Amino acid sequence: MKFNIVPVIVFLAMSILVRAEDSLPDVKFVPLNSLTEAAGNQATGPASNSATSASYTAEALPQEDSAQTPYGLPRELMPLWDSLTIKQKAAQMVMVYMTPASFMLEHEFGGYLVMKNHLKNLDKFTENIRTVNDSMRIKPLVAADQEGGLVNRISVVAPRWEHTPSAKQMRNMSEDSIRTLAKEIGAVLDSVGINLNLAPVLDPAKDSRGKHSFMEESKRSWGEDTTNATKVRAFVQGMRESNVACVSKHFPGYDSWTNSDHQIAVSSTPKAKVAKNVEFFKTLASDIPVTMMSSVSFVRISSRPAVFEPKIVKMARDMSPETVILTDDLWGVSLRAWVSGNERVRSKNYPAKDFRKLVRTALMAGNDMFMITYPQKAVEMVNYLAALSKQSKYYRQRIEESAARILKMKFKAGLL
3-state secondary structure of 218: coil
Average pLDDT for 72-89 = 97
Residue 11 has pLDDT above 80, yes or no: no
Return the H-helix or E-strand segment holding 111: strand 111-114
Question: For position 261, what pLDDT does the model report?
Answer: 60
- Supply the pLDDT for residue 33: 35
The per-residue pLDDT of the chain, averaged, comes to 86
First to last CA, the chain: 49
- Alpha-carbon distance of 394 to 14, in angstroms, equals 8
Q: Convert the pLDDT of each residue in 34-80 to its tens digit.
A: 323 333 333 445 664 433 333 334 344 444 455 689 999 999 999 99
Q: What is the Cα–Cα distance from 9 to 11, expressed in whole angstroms?
A: 5
What would the pLDDT profile of 164-181 be if each residue is shown by its tens digit? 999 999 999 999 999 999
DSSP, residue by residue, 43-109: -SS--SS---------PPPPHHHHTTSGGG--GGGHHHHHH--HHHHHHTTEEEE---HHHHHHHT-
What percentage of the chain has pLDDT greater than the value 70? 82
Number of neighbouring beta carbons within 10 Å of residue 177 = 15
- 312, pLDDT greater than 80: yes
| Range picked from 2-11, 128-137, 264-273 for highest mean pLDDT | 128-137
Higher per-residue pLDDT: 162 or 12: 162
CA distance 327 to 369: 6
The span from the CA of 163 to the CA of 388, in Å, is 46
